[in-house]
Structure 1
Amino acid sequence: MKFSESWLRSLVDPKLSSEELSHLLTMAGLEVEELDAVAPAFTSVVVAQVLEVVKHPDADRLNVCQVDIGSGTPQQIVCGAPNVAAGLKVPCALPGAELPGDFKIKVAKVRGIESSGMLCSAKELGIAEEASGLLILPADAPVGQSIRQYLDLDDHVFELKLTPNRADCLSLLGVAREVGAITGAATSLPVVAEVPASIADSRAVVLDAPAACPLYYGRIVKNVDAKAPTPEWMKRRLERSGIRSISALVDITNYVMLELGQPLHAFDNTRLDGAVHARMAKPEEKLLLLNEQTITVDADILVISDDAKPLAMAGIMGGEESGITLETSELFLESAFFAPKAIAGRARRYGFGSDASHRFERGVDFGGTRRAIERATQLILEICGGQAGPVVEAKAELPARQPVRLRTARAEKVLGLPLGADRIAGLFKGLALDFVQQGDDFLVTPPSWRFDMEIEEDLIEEIARLYGYDNIPSPAPQARMAMLRQPEAQRPAYRVRQMLADRGYQEVVNFAFVETQWEADFAGKTAEADLIRLANPIASQMAVMRSNLFGGLIANLVTNLKRKQTRVRLFEVGRTFHRDAAAVPVAGYRQPWRLGGLAFGGALPDGWASGGRKVDFFDVKGDIEALLAPAALRFEKLVHPALHPGRAARILLDGVDIGCVGELHPEWVQKYDLTAAPVLFELDFAAIKAVVVPVYTELSRFPAVVRDLAVVVDRDLALQALFDGLKQDLPGLVTDLQLFDVYAGKGVPENKKSLALRIVMQDTQRTLQDSEVDAAMQQLIACLEKTFGAQLRA
């Protein structure tokens, strides 16, 4: 909501500076987003009249002007403006004036002719960015008056950033009402008298959709002069409210909308056939709007029509074919109340909006609908002339104003203030609220302009606003506090993040809604039934909910590579979304927390000792094992749509699948223009936060025996399968079993490989004998030969 301060002060004038008023409005919940002067500072510029214009003798583009500045003696001024002419009234900067840009005016000679001042354009005064010539003033402008006073250039423009619930402040009337309630200043709100009908012409109004349009006023005004000029005071107020002056009739409807908050519409009455209807659109009905867009009106759109055709999208935009022009002499003026639910979202569906829809979808004062049409009629007759017919009213059931109970004790408890019933009653009177006091309680009936008062908390908020948020004390909280137990088997989420940061990863936060193609590439979801599609996405590339975190991480990597980052480590903690009929708390959709990560580039930061080795599967596998230590993980071969078919693994914890790790699939490396394949992982976040509680195990004081064993096995044999088989028949003396070498080639049969195992044996009570060690080794060898067909390597 944008308006000029002088307009507001004509309705309510508190003894506050502009800055103080701005702060007060902001602290009352009406945030002042901008407060700007309408013109920069300048001095000694007055209204002047050009008396005579002659060509400069030595310059083709200059004129020598005799100018009346109100001093009784004409001044000679040299001017190069193309539109200067005798009889015009224009701004004149006198000698000694200081214009914007630190431009000082002096008596000077221009091509040998003395010039005592300068005739000014709007650009030179700082009130316009561009100007093609002098600023032409109205013929009745008083010569000699300060231009700042005449054009009200000491004014300021307020721009409010209103929350959707405060539609009542989308008008000067609403803002003035608020200022009066906050400051206690007397308000001089517009008094609108009914304009008596001077002609009998009228048009019937029919409410075919009374739930969407329960109130409609219409009036015919004939013999108007649509070419009449808009008064300068109205034009100035409109322009400072961000609305361009178009024509007198259009300007009047816009002015009343800003003044009273009621959008109006004027139809060319000669283009209407029969009665005016407020109805829902018919199938495949088309309408050419004022913005020159032809639309097919949906069935849930409320339209205004006559007996033959649609005329306008109700509460949103009028139609071109029934709109007023400079040739209009007879109009049908509309002032109506449209239910917010019937207007909300309809304009955005067609890709446009309007000041009217902005107000109607938030709620317009249905108690002021008649007042608005009378005010508009009054202004039309004053500016454009004409005769007004009677006001035709069509009325159905208006929104019920249900009383809301406020308990004084409850308000005092919530706000922490000793208010008292008398103080609350005074605040309610300032807001012009209708209430009945019952002891210390109040039964408040919301006025017709407030759609946001429905529960007790709404009234408590009003009390807080008027009392002043900055006047409410902020004492230190006092409470009996006890330290909560931190379960030993549960790791805090921040600790997981810290562990990853310690290993060189940086956290990212991505949108949970992603591109449809990402779900196909990284989750293998191509069928529409598999996707969780958004009904109203904020952008076309954010149309579905993600089922894994890979897409966002790849996009982050692409962004980093474009910025010449060669080593990237990223992780994200976020929800993924899956269809599940048994899911809670959102029925039909399971939303687990997941931890995703990505590693790309060098295994170590660049340096003399880094060796230039690139990160691989096993580096990231080590990070995952460190993250879940001391838990023992299993890694099994995995086929995943996002990962390399031979370099990806499923991660198992105690036999439960908790995630996956692997290189990005070569196809996606090429598609997303990556220079190499990153390594990705995704884990169940709940599993990571669960910690294995350490159990004490006695450490041996006796030396360990280490033996190495090399065996030849089938090349396809997985190491994990070999370890699993050995552990089922592992001698009790063996405390550790590790692989330290893999070899295939010369000396090893084809389709075979050599595995070198290191076996560590130890006892906590005694030193092991060679015979015991040899027996344990023979047992291991026998297990390898029997279970896996292994042979000792010579």
Structure 2
Amino acid sequence: MQVSLSWLSTHLDLSSYTVPQLSDLLTFAGVEVEGIEERGVSTDKVVVAQIKSFEQHPKADKLSVCQVDDGSGKPRQIVCGAKNFKAGDKVPLALPGAVLPGGFAIKEGNLRGVDSLGMMCSGKELGLGEDHGGLLILSPDAPVGTVFNKLYPADVLFDLEITPNRPDLLSHLGLARELAALTGLPLKGQRDYAKAATPVKPATSNITLEAPASCPLYTARIIKGVKVGPSPEWLRLRLESIGLRPINSIVDITNYVMMEMGQSLHCFDQDKLNGGITVRMAAEGEKFLALDGQTYELKSEDLVIADSQRPVAIAGVMGGEETGVTEVTVNVLLEAAYFAPSGIRRTSRRLGLSSDSSYRFERGIDPQQVQGGSELATKLILEIAGGTAEDVVHVAGEAPALVGEVTLDEKRARSLLGTPDMSSDEIHAILTKLGLTLKSSGTDESLWTIPTYRLDLQRSVDLVEEVARVIGLDRVPSRQAAVASPVEAADRTYDFAMGLRQTLASRGFFEAQTLRLIADAQLADSLGGGQGVAVKNPLSEDHTTLRPSIVPGLIATAALNIRQGLHRLRFFELGRVFLALPKGGSREEERLAVLLSGPVAPSSWHGRETSPADIHELVGQIQNLTRTPIEVRPAKENPANFLLTSELRSGNRILGWIAQLHPARAREISARHPVYVAELLLSALRQGSTGPTKFEELPRFPGMTRDVAMEVPADLPHAKVAAFFATQKHPLFVCAEVFDVFSDPSGTKIAKDRKSIAWTLTYRSPDKTLETPEVDAAHTAILSALEKSLPATVRR
């Protein structure tokens, strides 16, 4: 929210506070100051000047030597680099001694041998916008010699982030009330607009309230004979000071009232309405043409303001183009209402349509100030646009009572704040400054009536928080009240995921973080099966589906890095995927995805590029993440964008999937080497990594190896042979590794339906150095068991 310091100063005198002091005051009170912008100049050494004549600088093509009238009676010579002026233009002139925003001091100077006695300024140099392409050309009516800040008063703009629980601060009056409580300064005017003098008239046939749950209170006042035109200068300056663009006097007044007191209003052209006003829910599929020129399709859950023929406004969000106020409007209907926040928020989010009004309505406004907002707007319309207002306000429904009385446990308040020395009188004074009214007081308790604009004060602890904000947290002593909590499942899950990250990072992989929303075209890059969950109201074509796999994001990351010249790719990501269920609904899973491509080792000046990694390299990297052996089995389905799609299993448990990106898809992302990807189920991976870590002492005695070659059927999976060796319990047998596979499709050297596999078997004793007969005996026993267990013939 943009807040003008000069506007705030109309409610209380802040002249004794500097801008940094006000910023700190708001920050420590819980109002975040996101930015501070100084606009205009406060110095009286910037004046209106008129350019009488100019000529090119004798020694610089891009400079002009100007003779200007600054109102002193003597011409002043200025060297200027701008080109957007002509003789007779009036411009701001900074005289020597002036200090411009940013601390830029103006002095008399000499540019290429020509004296320059000041500087003609652009809007940006004066803090009046970002345009620095030329001089700020002023109105021809601006009097020469006038101090510039009388035409454009200096101001300070605060950019505030208001938390959702404080809708009362979304106006200058609301923020002034807050500052009055924090500083102790008195407000210059009223604290609120809850009291209105205009009598009300219950609505009859002219207003019909069909949805009282969504709109408990609706008021309308007709003003006839208005003359719509430009707003007066004071109103334009007020709106422009906070970044609002003036439109016309009627619309500007409603915007002013909204930013002044927080009540959003809307004006209809009365002559464009057909019949009375009906506040109702929209018909399913009903169309509405809004002020932004867009046509919106409404649903039955949307609240609209309608006449007898069609909707004329989306309640609390935006008015209609067909009934908007224009320069030819003569009679207006001024709407002021209270709308239920949940309905406004739902409609605004679904339509993707947000306005200053919806921003306030969906957070909650003060229903007791609805009529006061209408009365203030009516007063300004009559003063600025003329006309005659009806003597009464037509009202349908009644204002809901959203606040009441709260009992403050003062003894508990002192205990929570850690300030036992705080007296009841001090607590009462603070709450009174905040606008609360003391109804009764006892020894340790007091009863307070909450002002209608403080919707967030509902409990005793809310009042304690208010006291803490005003006295400042520096007065609240710090105490260590936390205790160590036992390790829970969430902690173990986090630690396991962090361990995976550290392991992969230590092996040269880089963690990626991609969006959970992907485009429909990326679904073909998904691994692991499952359908994605479509987004009902996507923000763009690139974010239409909740991802069913992390792999599409990694492939997009790989493509981006390839375009930047990187071809050795090592990426991983831990995240959540979303899978649609066959009977409706969805479920979520935590997964780990890994992508690998390019040379096994980084390039070096003293060696050639190593061979590219293959799918076995990726299997090995995954094996290092779990303590249980991994078995690779062909998958039942092979997605179109992948080759060699396989399941990764540990016993009967599926760990995930692994595949090679199809060469055609790899060419689309300009990959120079094969691209391999894997996606693992984090829960399954963790099951294989539970239990304490076990370490073994390094062997003290040497081992002995024996090689064995065997013929097996060509279709015998390698996993079965590996599983056989893994189950051998001979005390001297340590491990087995395959080192050669041979087959001959021609059948010349070995039958077509056979293949030869060669393994190296390692033997070792933990107690002594083995002798040859001992190793031979163990080796013979294992080979005999091999031939009995598998259709293998050992080649001796």
Into which bin does the TM-score normalised by the smaller protein fall?
Answer: 0.7 to 0.9
Distance 1:785-1:316 versus aligned 2 partners, 3 A rule: closer
Tell me which moved more, 478-487 or 762-771: 478-487
Q: CA deviation at 1:782?
A: 4.1
Give 1:681's aligned residue: 678
Q: CA deviation at 1:504?
A: 1.4
Q: Tell me, in whole angstroms, the C-alpha distance in 2 between the residues paired with 1:581 and 1:347.
A: 31
Deviation per CA, 1:753-787, whole angstroms, max 9, x where unpaired? 22222233455677777666555544444444455
1:709 aligns with 2:708: yes
Change beyond 3 A, Cα 1:533–1:458: farther
Answer yes or no: is the 8 Å Cα contact 1:94–1:117 preserved in 2. yes
Aligned to 2:463: 459
Q: Using a 3 Å threshold, how does the CA distance of structure 1 residues 700 and 597 change in structure 2: closer, same or farther?
A: closer
State the 1:712 CA deviation.
Answer: 2.0
Preserved contact between residue 42 and residue 97 of structure 1 (Cα < 8 Å): no
- Who is 1:551 aligned against? 552
How far apart are the structure 2 equivalents of 1:462 and 1:350?
A: 37
Hey, what does 1:367 align to over in structure 2?
368
> 2:427 and 2:92 mapped to 1: Cα distance?
55
Where does residue 434 of structure 2 map in the other structure? Answer: 431
**1:495 alignment partner, one of 473, 487, 499:** 499
Question: What pairs up with 1:598-677 in 2 under 5 angstroms?
Answer: 598-607=595-604, 608-609=606-607, 612-629=610-627, 631-639=628-636, 641=638, 647-666=644-663, 668-677=665-674
Structure 1 pair 741–369 and aligned structure 2 pair: CA distance change class (3 A): same
Letter in 1 for 2:432: K
* Residue 355 to residue 648, structure 1, CA distance change in 2 (3 Å): closer
CA contact (8 A) 1:93 1:105 kept: no
Q: Is this contact kept in 1: 2:107–2:117, CA < 8 A?
A: no
Report the AA paired with residue 429 of structure 1: T
Letter in 2 for 1:182: L
* In structure 2, distance between residues paired with 1:756 and 1:278: 85
Instruction: Report the Cα distance in structure 1 between the residues aligned to 2:754 and 2:156, rounded to whole angstroms.
Output: 87
CA offset at residue 336 of structure 1? 1.8
Whole-Å separation in 2 of the counterparts to 1:708 and 1:68: 103
Q: Match of 2:455, SS?
A: coil
Shift of 1:185: 0.6
Structure-2 change in CA distance of 1:669 and 1:84 (3 Å): same
1:138: Cα distance to partner? 6.3
> What's the CA shift string for 1:268-307, capped at 9, x where partnerless?
2233343222222245544333223333443332222333
* Aligned-partner SS, 1:270: helix
1:271 alignment partner in structure 2: 272
Aligned to 2:242: 241
Change (3 A) 1:68 1:785: closer
* 1:433 aligned partner, one-letter code: L
CA RMSD across the alignment: 4.4
Tell whether 2:391 aligns with 1:408: no
Are 2:347 and 1:346 equivalent residues in the alignment?
yes
In structure 2, what is the Cα distance between the partners aligned to 1:302 and 1:83? 57
Counterpart-to-counterpart distance in 1, 2:550 and 2:448: 51
Residue 60 of structure 2 corresponds to none
Query: Offset of 1:726 from its aligned partner?
Result: 5.7
What secondary structure, in the 3-state scheme, does the structure 2 residue paired with 1:344 have?
A: helix
- More moved, 587-596 vs 300-309: 587-596
In 2: Cα distance, 1:83 partner to 1:352 partner: 47
Superimposed CA distance per residue, residues 471-529 of structure 1 (whole angstroms, 9 cap, x where no aligned partner)? 44435x26665997999999754333322222112222333343344444324758xxx
Q: Shift in Å at residue 356 of structure 1?
A: 1.5
Count the aligned residue pairs: 762
Change (3 A) 1:470 1:296: same
Pairing of 1:148-297 with structure 2 (within 5 A): 148-153=149-154, 155-190=155-190, 204-227=206-229, 229-297=230-298
Deviation sequence 1:679-705 (CA, Å, 0-9, x none): 223334345552454679899877655
Between stretches 506-515 and 360-369, larger displacement belongs to 506-515
1:515 and 1:65 map into 2 onto residues whose CA distance is 62
Runs (5+) with no aligned partner, structure 2: 57-63, 79-83
The C-alpha deviation readout for 1:16-53, integer Å capped at 9, x for no partner, is 112211221122122222222212576534468x9xx9
Distance 2:718 2:389 in 1: 96
* 2:509 equivalent to 1:510: no
Q: Distance in 1 between matches of 2:54 and 2:737?
A: 103
Q: How far 1:604 sits from its partner (Å)? A: 0.9
CA distance 1:54–1:24, shift in 2 (3 Å): closer
Q: Taking structure 1 as reference, are residues 636 and 394 closer, same or farther at Cα in structure 2, changes over 3 Å only?
A: same
| Residue 344 (structure 1) shift | 1.5
Aligned partner of 1:358 in structure 2 is 359
Q: CA deviation at 1:615?
A: 1.1
Q: TM-score, normalised by structure 1?
A: 0.83
Distance (whole Å) between structure 1 residues aligned to residue 67 and residue 608 of structure 2:
82
Deviation for aligned residue 1:174: 0.5
CA gap of 1:83–1:226, structure 2 versus 1, over 3 A, is farther
CA gap of 1:107–1:204, structure 2 versus 1, over 3 A, is farther
Greater alpha carbon shift after TM alignment, 125-134 vs 143-152: 125-134
SS of 1:652's equivalent?
strand
Residues 45 and 97 in structure 1, CA contact (< 8 A), matched pair in contact too: no
Q: TM-score, normalised on structure 2?
A: 0.83
User: Offset at 1:237?
Assistant: 1.0
Evaluate the alpha carbon distance shift between residue 721 and residue 96 of structure 1 in structure 2; reply closer, same or farther with a 3 A threshold.
closer
Whether the 8 Å contact between 2:290 and 2:321 is mirrored in structure 1 is: yes
